[in-house]
Amino acid sequence: MRQITNALARGVILCGLVVTIGFAACKSYGAEVIPIAGKAIQKTEKMDVLYTDAVTGRLIYILSNRGMDQETTGSGLFQGSARTNRATWDLVNGVGTGQGISRVETAAGDAYVAEFNGVCMPILTDDGKSVPRCYGGWVLLPGSGTGHFVNVQAGGSWTGTVQANGDFEVVWSGHLQHQSPK
C-alpha cells in the first residue's frame, strides 16, 4: 500500500508542478487561464496481458480504448473531441498504478497529445458491489498541439470508474492557457 500511496503522491506532485509552472509562464506572457472540464465514456478496444499471477493477484496489462469528450466547462473547444488512449497498468488485487498517452482530435481536426498517470483501487457501490475506481493527473505534451492547440499549455486531474458493461467513465478537469510564441 505504501508503494501505491507514494506513486499517487508522485503523480499528483508532478501534475501540480507542471500546472503551476504553466501558470507562472502564462502570467509572464499575460495569457488568460481558462478552466476546462468534461467527461467521456471510453470503450475498450484491446487489452494485452503482459503478466498475471493467480497466487499474488498481480496483473500487468496494456489497455487501448476510445471515447468522445462531452465538455462541461470551457469554450466548446473539446466538445465532441475523439480521444484515443493507450496505457500500461500494474495492479495487485485491483490496486495499483498506471500511465499512458491520449491523442485527442476535435471535429475541426485540431489535435494534441496528453500524458496521464494514476492509481486504481476497488470501491464499494451503494448496493455493496466492488468496482474499480481510478484517479490521476494529466498534462498536454509541449509542442504536440495543432490548430487551436498550438502554443497551448494545459493540465489537470481525472477520475474514472469501470461500468458494469466494461466501459470506462472518465471525468476530467483542468486549466488551459494559450502562450505567445517565443
- Report the distance separating Cα 88 and Cα 100, nearest Å: 6
Summarised one tens digit per residue, pLDDT across range 9-40 is: 444 444 444 444 444 444 434 578 999 999 99
Q: Where are the domains of the chain?
A: 2-178
Entry pTM? 0.80
Asked whether the predicted pLDDT for residue 47 surpasses 90, the reply is yes
Q: Where are the beta strands (DSSP E) in 93-141?
A: 95-105, 111-124, 130-140
- Beta strand pairing status for 33-53 and 168-178? antiparallel
Asked whether the predicted pLDDT for residue 7 surpasses 60, the reply is no
Average pLDDT of the segment spanning 94-108: 95
Q: So what CATH class is 2-178?
A: mainly beta
- Report the distance separating Cα 123 and Cα 121, nearest Å: 7
Helix (H) or strand (E) holding 90: strand 82-92
Q: Find how far residue 93's CA is from the centre of its chain.
A: 22
Residues of the chain with pLDDT > 90: what percent?
68
- Report the distance separating Cα 10 and Cα 98, nearest Å: 12
Which residues, in sequence order, are CB contacts of 17 under 8 Å at separation 6+? none
Indicate the residue type of 173.
S
How many H helices and E strands in the chain?
1, 8
Q: What is the pLDDT of residue 161?
A: 93
Summarised one tens digit per residue, pLDDT across range 63-94 is: 999 999 999 999 888 899 999 999 999 999 99
Contact in structure between 78 and 69 (CB atoms under 8 Å): yes
Q: What is the pLDDT of residue 31?
A: 75
Q: What is the pLDDT of residue 174?
A: 97
In order of 83, 85, 96, 161, the CA distances from 103 in angstroms are 6, 7, 23, 20
- Report the distance separating Cα 110 and Cα 116, nearest Å: 20
Average per-residue pLDDT for the chain:
85
Q: What is the pLDDT of residue 4?
A: 46
Asked whether the predicted pLDDT for residue 147 surpasses 80, the reply is yes
- Report the distance separating Cα 156 and Cα 4, nearest Å: 20
